[in-house]
Chains A and B, each alone.
Chain A
Amino acid sequence: MEINLNIKPNLQIRSFYLFFVIVSIQIGVGIMGVPRIIFEASGRDAWISVILAFLYIVLLLSVMFLILKPYDNADIFGIQIDIFGNWIGKLLGTIYIAYFVLNLFTVLITYIEVVTIFIFPDLNNFFMAILLVALILYSTIGGIRVIIGVCFLFFILSHWLVLLLAQPIWEMDWSHFQPMFQSSLTELLEGARQTAYTFSGIELLFLLYPFVQNKKSVKLPVYLGALWSALLVMAATVVVTGFFTPEEIKAREWSVLGLYKIQSFSFVERFDYIVVAEWMMVTLPNMILCSWAVIYGIKRLYKIPQKTTLYVLVSLLAIASIFTKEHYVIQALINFSAKLGFWIIYIYPFLLLILVYVKKRIFQNKGAVNHEK
């Protein structure tokens, strides 16, 4: 397998789209419920946890860039094979792909669950999954350009939802934040750790990096994307903490969606229905990017055509969704995904960085790493 990739010019993307890709994959279903989870860990200082998490992500992103730097145009699969050899490299790559499948599946079933609870209590899981999966199939089959386009357009078309938070912000009780700085550092860090599932997705950079056209300007959009997601999560957390009392927060699974219930205009009484429907535009890019990562990764590792994998993947997703109607099953899957993601996304890159540079040092006399194979 080639470590460095040679991407055709018509498949390359401009680096500025990475901003939208990063935001799209980070902001999905996680943000709907994350304020409660952070709040449970670090109390009214939850917003500090978000800042900590963001700082950690900035660190992580710079580590990822450092890993990619010694190579010409490699992705995670190539790097792993370069470092660990063919067998272990492929195994690790497979775990990576499995994680993407898991993430994709949790997003799918969570959104279906939200729709079931907020709009159609009797909705058939399988039917809804078929709808979503059809959209995933239709856009993923268009290739990377269409996928990036979906991220870009849906980003623009869904961000008006932020404006609807105006009324909750207006009615916030600022005393909910006082007294400040009471949580201990461990509580704050625990809160930051709880954002792992929400903020996951930046690992996609490892896969998309070879596709970027202008590598020199790749960093800024990525950091800005992470900043924007952090700001959105931050806003959600602050508004939820300020608007609801602690008891109310704990009673609400998706506290952010609860915020939209009080916004009303003279022509629209309740926005939560519209918001839940509109949320499809938030989750779809997320799922599409994940499924692209899966089919692309499998092609990289095992040379199976992307179309074959895609058909298999979407049918499996639709079938599997039948068996995940219960909330505790979904929650268990999310928790598992969060735990796995924590190690794969947030810890593993540091290890990989060390290995990449150790290897580089060893082979320094014979030339750079990328010339080795």
Chain B
Amino acid sequence: MRKARKKSNDNSIFPTNLEDLKRQLQTKFDHNSDLNYTIYQHQNQQLAVFYVTYLIDTNKVEASLLKPLLDSKQSWDNTKLLNQIPLSSGKKAKTMDDILKGILMGEVFIYIENEKEIVSYPLKKEEKRDLSKAETESLVLGPQVAFTESLATNMNLTRKGILSNDLVLEKIIVGEQSPKELRLAYLKSVANQDDINTMRQRLVELEVDEIEDSSVLIQLIEDSSSSIFPQFYETELPDRFSYSISKGRVGVLVENSPTGIIAPITLFSFLESTEDLYMRWNIGSFFRILRFIAMVISVLLTPMYVAVVTYHYEIIPMPLLITLGQSRANVPFPPIFEAMLLELLIELLREAGARLPTKVGQTMGIVGGVVVGTAAVQAGLTSNTLIILVTLSALASFTAPSYLMGTTIRVLRFPMIILGGVLGLIGIMFGICFLIIHLLKLTSLGRPYLSPVYPFNWQDLNKTLFRLPYNMQTKRFVSFRLRDLYRFDKDKARKKKDIDE
């Protein structure tokens, strides 16, 4: 098949007559009645105009193409067409392949009989929704707008975020069966060349039939596909996307996908929110640290409870042990079963809430949270204490700004509960050690996943673990070895004015 295509690439199908062309096209568009093929008589010339109706902005075709074409008093040839039709980016094509591709991309073709080439204009009608508020990564402060499914809109938003001619939006086409346009975005004066090259190579060398969405693309080009942790950041916020790119990262936009991909990232990127930047530095730091604690709580709290109650109740102080014992007295199950039951319940609620329409979803929350929660305790299925702990850890997992990371954290809890229930504290410790080693081994676009903690770089800590006032953040991320490290002049930022200056 591929060989045949190559052959046809070499020889042009032109010049030909219009009926012939029509027949050829119709064999290609078998059982497809949407191809609009019209032949016009004009100044003793025969012109063919063809396109797929629903891909084309028909008003534009009539006003800007057909009107000047047919009203003119002269005879046409290709050069005149390109020069005199008031439409930009017209181009010539020769082969059947190019024509077919062009038709699907929303181009209008004009063929003047016996010419050696065919002329086309892109007059694509793009169906897209309007810009709307971010849903999965909602913010209180800062820009609220989210990416949409249209690549052009997304590029527009990115350019708006970075008004610099350093911003490169490299076009890459991926997908053999249904090609899709990708854009590799980076700042050429800042981003590390190795990162750009690695990303470009991974995209270009991709051999798949099609890419459904940017999250599918992530899975295709990730460093380690067996890991539970996401290795590229997927964001729907244009401000986050352009902020990351302006700090030297590489981004990818995918046609028909409302999220942008950012790489390389670290584990800590998933706990950063752009809101940290919009808040005052000390408050931003507080919330960032809070999210770290939330992550630890979310992974460890329920497993700890299971481990301690099953094996090491000596750890619990006497007053607490009494209340705990009272609340557990009615429960006939071992703690591990009790915890798994509740965790599963919470996961069910979350999953159901996400699938259902918003209004029903809220009702689900009330039904699940209040009715089942209280009833479960009264029925003696779980203890009160555990309900508090499970709710706390579920809540904590939702503080992660990235939905992907939040899911990872919630799923991690299940093996940890089993480890805690089987081996107590030793099991939990085993799990923690395993996780840390796993994180140490992970990379994102070839860069360590845990940087700047390991490989350690104290200059980057203020961008990941906490924040400092802006006059101390003169550098970009040191660990990523960017081309241009400095954001602004450090000395100027620190200069203090005298009293009456």
Contact = CB atoms under 8 A, between A and B. Distances in A.
Interface of A: 14, 16-17, 115, 119-120, 128, 131, 135, 138-139, 142, 146, 149-150, 152-154, 157, 264-270, 273-274, 276-278, 280-281, 284
Nearest to A127: B423
Interface extent on B, as a size class? 20 to 34
20 contacts: A119-B311, A119-B426, A139-B437, A139-B441, A142-B437, A146-B437, A146-B441, A150-B436, A150-B437, A150-B440, A153-B436, A153-B453, A157-B436, A266-B317, A269-B317, A273-B312, A273-B315, A277-B425, A277-B426, A280-B426
Contacts of B438: 138
B182 to A, nearest CB: 29
A152 B430 contact: no
B318 interface: yes
Interface of B: 311-312, 314-318, 320, 423-426, 428-430, 433-434, 436-438, 440-441, 450, 453-456
Give the 7 A-B CB pairs with smallest separation, nearest first: A277-B425, A149-B440, A277-B429, A149-B454, A139-B437, A269-B317, A142-B441
A19 B260 CA distance: 41
Contacts of B428: 277
A303 B425 CA distance: 40
A265 B428 CA distance: 21
Contact of A153 (B429, B430, B454): B454
A36 to B, nearest CB: 24
B274 to A, nearest CB: 28
Given A150-B437, A152-B454, A280-B433, A270 B314 contact: yes
Most buried by A among B317, B425, B433, B441: B433
Most buried by B among A150, A153, A266: A153
Contacts of A274: 315, 425
A154 B450 CA distance: 14
A270 B315 contact: yes
Contacts of B424: 119-120, 277
Contact of B434 (A14, A138, A149): A138
B498 to A, nearest CB: 40
Contacts of B434: 135, 138
Contacts, number: 84
A135 B430 contact: yes
Given A266-B317, A267-B320, A273-B314, A120 B440 contact: no
A115 B426 contact: yes
Contacts of B423: 131
Given A138-B434, A150-B437, A152-B454, A269 B429 contact: no
B231 to A, nearest CB: 16
A281 B426 CA distance: 11
Contacts of A135: 430, 433-434, 437
A280 B436 contact: no
A274 B456 CA distance: 28
A211 to B, nearest CB: 14
Contact of B437 (A138, A267, A268): A138
A273 B429 CA distance: 11
Given A150-B437, A270-B314, 10 more contacts: A119-B312, A119-B424, A119-B425, A138-B437, A138-B438, A139-B437, A149-B454, A268-B317, A269-B314, A269-B315
Main secondary structure of the interface of B (DSSP, over half): helix
A29 B318 CA distance: 31
A152 B436 CA distance: 11
B409 to A, nearest CB: 18
A120 B316 CA distance: 17
A133 to B, nearest CB: 11
B270 to A, nearest CB: 18
Contacts of B433: 135, 154, 280-281, 284
Most buried by B among A16, A17, A138, A273: A273
A297 B423 CA distance: 35
Contact of A268 (B315, B426, B450, B455): B315
B227 to A, nearest CB: 13
A75 B51 CA distance: 73
A273 B456 CA distance: 31
Given A280-B433, A281-B429, A149 B315 contact: no
A119 B314 CA distance: 11
Contacts of B425: 119, 273-274, 276-277
Contacts of A139: 437, 440-441
A366 to B, nearest CB: 42
A154 B441 CA distance: 15
Contacts of A17: 456
B314 A142 contact: no
Contacts of B312: 119, 273
Contact of A149 (B311, B430, B450): B450
A120 B315 CA distance: 14
B430 A280 contact: yes
Contacts of B317: 264-269
Contacts of B441: 139, 142, 146
Nearest to B317: A269
A274 B426 CA distance: 9
Nearest to B304: A274
Given A14-B455, A119-B425, A269 B440 contact: no
Given A267-B320, A273-B314, A131 B437 contact: no
Nearest to B312: A273
Contacts of B311: 119-120
Nearest to A265: B317
B289 to A, nearest CB: 16
A16 B433 CA distance: 23
Nearest to B456: A152
